[in-house]
Amino acid sequence: MERRFSCTACGKCCHGLLPLTIDDALAHADKFPLVVMWTPVRQGGRSFRVTADLGITIQLKKRKLAAVRIAPTAYIPRTFPCPELTEEGLCAIHAVKPQRCRTMPFSAYRDEKDQDDLMIPRSGWVCDTSDEAPVVYRDTSIIDREDFEVERERLVRDAAILKPYAEWLLDSVPSLRMELQKIALKPGGGWVLVAFSTLIPRLPKVDIYTFAEKQVPVMKAFAQRTADNPGLAEFHQRYVDGAAEWETLARTQS
């Protein structure tokens, strides 16, 4: 079995939530509204093992487990393009774009053998999967694997920070564990969002005040863009709250 795939630079995949490495989140704090997204994966589910290795596990009912992926994330509505996507559908920061974008269509958040469906374009995407496109995946193995390996290495490195951070926050906020357990048992799954500010103290050599100054205008801009859309009320409130928190932190420095 093999898959053919070539990017046509249509920009259609550059919409919505974007998981980031810690380094990418810090590098692009002046561009993306950031949160930490916690996503449970039930035992037996897709990429449970990888999620457990990179994240943490929590106990469910009847001795079942859920693995939890903890990912710094650009919190963008799925109907919104990336703020760095040009009108021509090109990436304005191509030279320094996040590793998640570079690894597409593959994902280091999954087992290598579990990549097949990622090369099937979603509705509206115009990726080239014709016979003229190069073979990129054969017999459950990625052929050109450099970006996949780089992303996996960075996720493993991030795990050394995110695992103890997650355990600390679960111990500090018992309701977080209960919310994750509830979502893990939902048929459709889901996630829990945590303020990025909870992660900053765990990041060496990061000035929280400088970081706050970068996030304030981003959060305010997205709050304004979502203000009149009832369907994006949750996003809007997150941006409003985020802007207020970061502004308070930035003001503390002065």
pLDDT in tens, 12-40: 999 999 999 999 999 999 999 999 999 99
Please tell me whether residues 72 and 161 are part of one structural domain.
yes
Is residue 245 domain-shared with residue 150, that is, in the same domain? no
Strand partners, 6: 128
**Do 175 and 64 reside in the same domain of the chain?**
yes
Determine what percent of the chain is predicted with pLDDT higher than 70.
100
Domain identity same for 191 and 216: no
Say how far apart CA 85 and CA 11 lie, in whole Å: 7
pLDDT at 206 over 80: yes
Backbone torsion region of residue 9, taken as left when φ is above 0, otherwise alpha when ψ lies between -120 and 50, otherwise beta: left
- pLDDT tens figures, 120-159: 998 889 999 999 999 999 999 999 999 999 999 999 999 9
Residues 183 and 247 in one domain: no
Contacts of 55 by beta carbon, 8 Å cutoff, 6+ apart: 67, 68, 69, 70, 159, 162, 163, 166
pLDDT in tens, 39-67: 999 988 788 999 999 999 999 988 899 99
> Are 248 and 166 members of one domain?
no
> Which residues are CB-neighbours of 30 under 8 A, at least 6 positions away?
214, 215, 217, 218
Would you state the structure tokens that stand for residue 117, as one six-digit string?
């469906």
What contacts 112, CB < 8 A, 6 or more positions away?
Answer: 140, 141, 142, 148
92 has pLDDT over 70: yes
Q: Taking a C-beta distance cutoff of 8 angstroms, is the pair 169, 176 a contact?
A: yes
- At 215 the pLDDT is 98
Tokens of 59: 């106990």
Please tell me whether residues 82 and 171 are part of one structural domain. yes
Quote the Cα angle for 74-76-81, to 5°: 110
> What pLDDT, on the 0 to 100 scale, is given for residue 251?
86
Q: Over the range 149-173, which residues count as b (16 or more CB within 10 Å of their CB) and which as e?
A: eebbebbeebbeebeebbeebbeee
Co-location of 147 and 193 in the same domain: yes
Average pLDDT over residues 173-201: 95
Instruction: Judge if 58 and 82 occupy the same domain.
Output: yes
How many folded domains does the chain comprise? 2
My answer on whether 198 and 215 are in the same domain is: no
Segments forming the whole domain that contains residue 221: 207-254
Q: Do 178 and 235 belong together in one domain?
A: no
Are residues 99 and 86 part of one domain? yes
